[in-house]
Amino acid sequence: MSSDKGDVTTTDSAEEPDEVQAATPVKGGGGGRKNVVATLFRFQSLFGLALVFIAGVIFSPNVNGELIFLGVNNLFDIVRSVSEIGILAVGMTLVILIGGIDLSVGSMLGFSSVVVAVLLVNENWGVGPAVVVVLILGLAFGALQGALVASFGIQAFIVTLAGMQVARGLARITSGGQGVQISYGNDDPSKAPEVFSLIGERTFNGVVPISTLIFAAVAALAIMALRVTSFSRHVYAIGGNEKAARLSGVPVMRVKIIVFAICGLCAALAGIVHAGYLNFGGPNDGTMFELKAIAAVVIGGTSLMGGRGTVLGTVAGALLVGMLENILGLNNIKSDWQSIIIGLVIVLAAGLQRIRPASVSS
């Protein structure tokens, strides 16, 4: 949980003034440096993002004196490319905050993209009902996984490993193993309503991708919710010390189920965005996305042990990976090398977490 900085509240019941002195952090000098270090660690992914941005500027190819990297289109390509992973990663952050993990989100994305495509194209559903049904499916799938984790005490890793297989299988069955192409036409019943194609478009003079706006909205909502709600206090408490949380009256089981449900919901939404962007429901799409989402969360500074981390960090983590891929791509570095470099970044981020001083609260 974030704290307002510079707000040093001094509390001391002792009467002797010298005791007050000992208990109060010394201001200035050492205290100041400590604050800088604390801030650096707390927002490590934002600083990382800034560094990568600077690297992007430095290494950007130059056409007619213009840096391609800084071109408006290129920058929005980056935020577009991270939209689906970003949405997944927001849900993943919650799960990881309670000390869990969700490996099913990539398959769930594929399944959702297939279901929405089938409903729109083959079943002639309207966009509203189709989207709602897919979101509910995601929510229910997540809640089921959460219930297995919470009530039977099966490890989240195992439950969601199974869920990953199940969702992938469902995606293939639903689609008959073939991708479902979405074509648009409001009057043709075998085509999807045209509004759905909006997801793939860009607004504000064709600059800002709609899918990015969806991601931004999800992230903003999550950031707000994790700041202010009592639910978020429960989430952090469970990750911090589950037993203590339970004894303090936190409804541990309910919170876990809700968290997994939200993660499933995010996966379904990401699947819808994916289908809308590609105009395609792909049963094999989203493979490995769960790992990319986890990577974004880890780079964003959230502890895999739970109890510590922020959605803002995750957003920065997702952007950092997207930006890095973009820079490497602009410089014609092959994707093999891209994945090696991203692997190193993950290790670096995790390493920074290890040396993070204990006094830096999340």
Q: Draw the binding track, 247-266, toward another protein (x: CB under 8 A; -: no contact).
A: xxxxx---------------
Q: Using CA atoms, how far apart are residues 240 and 243, in angstroms rounded to an integer?
A: 9
Residues touching another protein: how many (CB under 8 A)? Answer: 48
User: Contact at 8 Å (CB) between 312 and 223?
Assistant: yes
Q: Does 243 bind another protein (CB under 8 A)?
A: yes
253: helix, strand or coil:
helix
Q: Which CB, 30 or 169, lies closer to another protein?
A: 30
Q: What is the dihedral of CA 292, 298, 304, 306, to 10 degrees?
A: -110
Q: Using CA atoms, how far apart are residues 358 and 362, in angstroms rounded to an integer?
A: 10
Q: Considering only residues 241, 279, 284, 287, which one is a binding residue for another protein as defined by CB under 8 A?
A: 241
Q: Does 244 bind another protein (CB under 8 A)?
A: yes
Q: Considering only residues 86, 100, 138, 240, which one is a binding residue for another protein as defined by CB under 8 A?
A: 240
Q: Which CB, 27 or 334, lies closer to another protein?
A: 27
Which CA distances in Å does 48 have to 66, 113, 209, 234, 339? 25, 32, 24, 29, 18
Distance in Å, CB of 253 to another protein, minimum? 9
Which one of 23-31, 110-118, 119-127, 166-174 is the stretch in contact with another protein (CB under 8 A)?
23-31
Q: Considering only residues 191, 246, 279, 284, which one is a binding residue for another protein as defined by CB under 8 A?
A: 246
Cβ neighbours of residue 70 under 8 Å, at least 6 residues apart? 56, 57, 60
Token output for 310: 């922020």
DSSP 46-76: HHHHHHHHHHHHHH--EETTEESTTSHHHHH
Q: Which CB, 16 or 187, lies closer to another protein?
A: 16
Q: Considering only residues 151, 178, 335, 359, which one is a binding residue for another protein as defined by CB under 8 A?
A: 359
Q: Does 9 bind another protein (CB under 8 A)?
A: yes
Distance in Å, CB of 119 to another protein, minimum? 32
User: Contact at 8 Å (CB) between 258 and 51?
Assistant: no
Q: Using CA atoms, how far apart are residues 168 and 285, in angstroms rounded to an integer?
A: 9
- Interface of this chain with another protein, residues 177 to 236, rule: CB under 8 A: 228-231, 233-234, 236
Question: Which residues form the interface with another protein (CB under 8 A)?
Answer: 1, 3, 7-14, 18-19, 21-27, 30-31, 34, 228-231, 233-234, 236-237, 239-241, 243-251, 307-308, 358-359, 361-362
